[in-house]
Structure 1
Amino acid sequence: MTSAKIAGRYAPENFRAWERMDRLHVLRDFDEWDRYEDVSSDLVVHVELRKWADVALVAPCSANTLGKMALGLCDNLAACFLRAWDPDKPLLVAPAMNTVMWEHPSTAQHLSTLESYGCRVVPPSCKRLACGDVGRGALAPVGDVVEAVKEACGGVAERRSCASAVGSWQRHGFQEWQPATTDDL
């Protein structure tokens, strides 16, 4: 049985339909920063989330988030969670960005850094992008992402996944994701 939690800066705008799905919990920056009352006893959301999850997926992973991950920046719940991620657990990124951004030397450097930490990359596909350009940079087909997560989970009996989503699913192909359920992961 699979359960999933989604951490994202803009989660309320992008995952309203997903919140209705069983076994899915959407977390927002608010859950991390605005609920602390007693620092000595309140749980730290990004750390508890890391302890809970068996696998982490960042999809779509923007150039901005890719850079934050490679540099260890932590300015929101998702970034803090990723910085606290246990390197012995599977971490996957599915980049989605403009072709020029994908081909930029810093992208290759950031991916190399993440891969040296054990992160798996689901390569983007080539098609017409949100900006109208045609080229590599589109989010990989959902089936490819799901297969990569299944492969990464290998021997994990009960898979608990945390997906960190950045950007608007409407702009990055939310319609493709709608038919999929957390059972697919």
Structure 2
Amino acid sequence: MEPKASCPAAAPLVERKFHVLVGVTGSVAALKLPLLVSKLLDIPGMWKCRSDPVLHIDLRRWADLLLVAPLDANTLGKVASGICDNLLTCIIRAWDRSKPLIFCPAMNTAMWEHPITAQQVDQLKAFGYVEIPCVAKKLVCGDKGLGAMAEVGTIVDKVKEVLFQHSGFQQS
């Protein structure tokens, strides 16, 4: 039985369910995971109807969220090369490229500055995947420079933009 929308803003979403996969492949990214998932669940109009107190917990009515966390530091290179030796890389290899895939690289500065990294990022973008670039700051390893995963707010904003653009829904 399909759920009935109890607020006008949610009405179009009754017919469409979003499926979001969050893959985490590094320890620092994993530390940001609870905040990222929390912020993704707060996207208005995508997951739930805020005006209906009954729905504040029942997210199944609007979206599926699947988390895969193999914690593999070489995932960028594996995906760019077509290697699929864990659940996340296998899912990405089988991904329907008509649907958006967003990636957020994160690594230490020396790895980020290596020429192969630019080639790998370019390969993923050539597949049609959307990059949310890393940012410069002092990293946990002590390096200073590019390599930190983008801020959670930046990621959430890009997810909203890409999903709503892809689905044809208007952001609120």
Common topology (TM > 0.5) = yes
Seen in structure 2, the aligned counterparts of structure 1 residues 16 and 145 have a Cα distance that, compared at 3 Å, is closer
Shift of 1:150: 1.5
Shift of 1:146: 1.0
Shift of 1:4: 4.0
SS at match of 2:79: helix
1:6-35 CA-to-partner distances (Å, cap 9, x unmatched) read 45689xx977997xx855444578xxxxxx
SS at match of 1:151: helix
Question: Which structure has the greater CA radius of gyration?
Answer: 2
Q: Aligned partners of 2:138, 2:148: CA distance in 1, in Å?
A: 8
Percent identical residues: 42
1:84-137 CA-to-partner distances (Å, cap 9, x unmatched) read 011111111101101110011110111111111111111111111010111110
Q: Aligned partners of 1:89, 1:143: CA distance in 2, in Å?
A: 22
- Corresponding position of 2:99: 89
More strand by proportion, 1 or 2? 1
Shift of 1:141: 0.8
Seen in structure 2, the aligned counterparts of structure 1 residues 155 and 71 have a Cα distance that, compared at 3 Å, is closer
- Corresponding position of 1:67: 77
Amino acid at match of 2:107: M
Mapping 1:1-185, distance limit 5 Å: 4-6=20-22, 23=60, 24-26=65-67, 62=73, 64-153=74-163, 154-156=165-167
Q: List runs of 5+ in structure 1 lacking aligned partners.
A: 30-59, 159-185
Seen in structure 2, the aligned counterparts of structure 1 residues 16 and 110 have a Cα distance that, compared at 3 Å, is closer
1:154-183 CA-to-partner distances (Å, cap 9, x unmatched) read 14168xxxxxxxxxxxxxxxxxxxxxxxxx
More helix by proportion, 1 or 2? 2
Runs of 4+ displaced beyond 6 Å: 13-18
Q: Aligned partners of 1:125, 1:83: CA distance in 2, in Å?
A: 26
Q: Aligned partners of 1:150, 1:135: CA distance in 2, in Å?
A: 27
How many aligned residue pairs are there?
124
Q: Of the two structures, which has the highest relative contact order with CA contacts closer than 8 Å and spacing of 6 or more?
A: 1
Q: Aligned partners of 1:112, 1:90: CA distance in 2, in Å?
A: 16
TM-score (norm 2): 0.59
Q: List runs of 5+ in structure 2 lacking aligned partners.
A: 1-12, 38-56
